[in-house]
Amino acid sequence: MPDSLCHHTATELSALIRAREVSAREVVQAHLDRIELLNPKVNALVSLNPERALAAAASADERLASGAPIGPLHGLPIAHKDTHDTAGIRTTYGSPLLAGNVPDRDELVVERLKAAGTIAIGKTNVPEFAAGSHTFNPVFGTTSNPYALDRSAGGSSGGAAASLACRMQPLADGSDMGGSLRNPASFCNVVGLRPAPGRVPTWPDLAAWSTLSVQGPMARTVSDVALMLSAIAGPDDRSPIAISEPGSVFQGSLQADLSGLRVAFSLDLGGELVVDPQVRAVLEPAAQVLTDIGGVVEEAAPDLTGADEVFRTLRAWQFELAFGELRDAHPDRIKPSLRDNIDAGRALTGTDVGRAERLHTELYHEVREFFGRYDVLALPVSQVPPFDIDLEFPTEIGGVAMPSYLDWMRSAYWISATGCPAISVPAGFTPQGLPVGLQLVAPHRGERRLLEIAHAFERATQHAAVLPQL
């Protein structure tokens, strides 16, 4: 049946299209049919354009038949994050201020995916201006978690994660400042990779030298994430921090010898994090899995003192840079939590930013030395399982108050501040059937080894194979 195509991985679909066992048009139509069936339940995909997608699929089939060169993602449907400018497709950033915005050019990650052969079917839902890790906005509403429709899908790449879990697309792009590729992946039982800054160059970018926010791949398997990363990674002279290594280093098998792998395992970063007991219970067996795949596991964690100040200071500075003018022009049309972050950026002094940069440097060297002793760090992606969809954010964890929409995300955003690549891989379910992801962190620019470790964990556990029952 056509719907069965949607259950193939991106790697499998790519091989089927190349072998002409199935056409790009059939693949796109199957996903559009599944979207029509399931998207009304989860509200993950927005600004759909099926006619445009089917026309592009027909062109892709003609190109393949002609013998012309094709890209590694030829014929695969994709919905781009609604904060990624996409030429000719409505891109709202989840804000009523941009509800009618239709860009006239693609930003770099979209440009690369298009060059690799993907076919745009629409956009994925986001929080307003991607602020926060719960996907809701006044333009399109709230995205539900496919595993429990009354729970959050995470964010800011929540629409991307939910659509992957529902098999409405095989790949998704996303971005991550404080966990926006990892938290929704954890909540929706898919895989999300935050690459090292510069691995996936960004353009245009108001703060091109900044390392806090990155773009990266999401998919249902680690191999598919690697496949997508091979297409979007690599140098570009429009980004001053772009890594020169080509994306091709992520091609090929991820099977590797992990014997003797030095694993630091910590469920609370040495007692620094408040973690929900259900998350702890799901992740405790991961230590044995990491041992079984060849690791030597020790209870250990880096000293991330200063990470909170680094992240919050630099984030506030970037939010003021990006949204300050909008805040002045339309103060009542920006959600209060975002407005507070912009105002926090305006309250910063040069001394504040200078101190954050000094702490940022100290943090880098602390983590560099830590990874001289260990090959990978394992910890929770999120400190909580998927929370009530009617909350903006969890207000407490285990009786400990979470005053703002950032406090509950420390396990993700402290890692952002280190600049290390990190991946969320499915690790199990709570007794209520809610997904929980394991976060694996590698040394600076160590994505290839990180993918190999995550792939081995995935194969050993098979949690990703558990589908939502919609």
pLDDT, position 3: 81
**DSSP states of 210-279 as a string?**
--S-EEEEEESSHHHHHHHHHHH-S--TT-TT---S-GGGG-S------TTEEEEE-SSTTTTS---HHH
pLDDT of 20 strictly over 90 = yes
Annotated catalytic, 123? no
121, part of any domain: yes
Q: How confident is the model at residue 1 (pLDDT cuts 50, 70, 90)?
A: very low
d(CA 71, CA 115): 7
Would you place residue 52 in the very low, low, confident or very high pLDDT band (cuts 50, 70, 90)?
Answer: very high
455: in domain = yes
Match 């504040």 to its residue by tokens: 352
List, for residues 282-314, the tens digit of each pLDDT value: 999 999 999 999 999 999 999 999 999 999 999
pLDDT at 62 over 60: yes
- 319-345 mean pLDDT: 95
Is residue 193 included in any domain, yes or no?
yes
Is 11 in contact with 18 (CB distance < 8 Å)?
Answer: no
Within a domain: 247: yes
| Residue 226 structural domain | 2-465
Q: Model's pTM, two decimal places?
A: 0.98
| CA geometry: angle 409, 413, 414, nearest 5 deg | 110
pLDDT in tens, 70-120: 999 999 999 999 999 999 999 999 999 999 999 999 999 999 999 999 999
Residue of 81, 114, 123, 335 marked catalytic: 81
DSSP 177: S
Judge whether 65 lies within some domain: yes
User: Rounded to whole angstroms, how far apart are CA atoms 175 and 164?
Assistant: 15
Share of the chain above pLDDT 90, in %: 99
Helix (H) or strand (E) holding 41: helix 24-42
Residue 450 has pLDDT above 50, yes or no: yes
Name the active-site residue from 156, 230, 411, 424. 156
Residue 252 above 90 pLDDT? yes
- Does the annotation count 335 as an active-site position? no
Q: How confident is the model at residue 342 (pLDDT cuts 50, 70, 90)?
A: very high
Q: Is 156 a catalytic residue?
A: yes
pLDDT value of position 2:
73
Report how many domains make up the chain. 1
Average pLDDT, integer, range 186-212: 98
Active-site pick, 23, 180, 223, 266: 180
The confidence score (pLDDT) of residue 303 equals: 98
14 domain-assigned? yes
Residue-wise pLDDT for 381-397, tens only, equals 999 999 999 999 999 99
Asked whether residue 470 is assigned to any structural domain, the reply reads no
- Tokens at 250, concatenated: 């992520």
Which CATH number is 337's domain given?
3.90.1300.10
Check: CB of residue 75 under 8 Å from CB of residue 60: yes
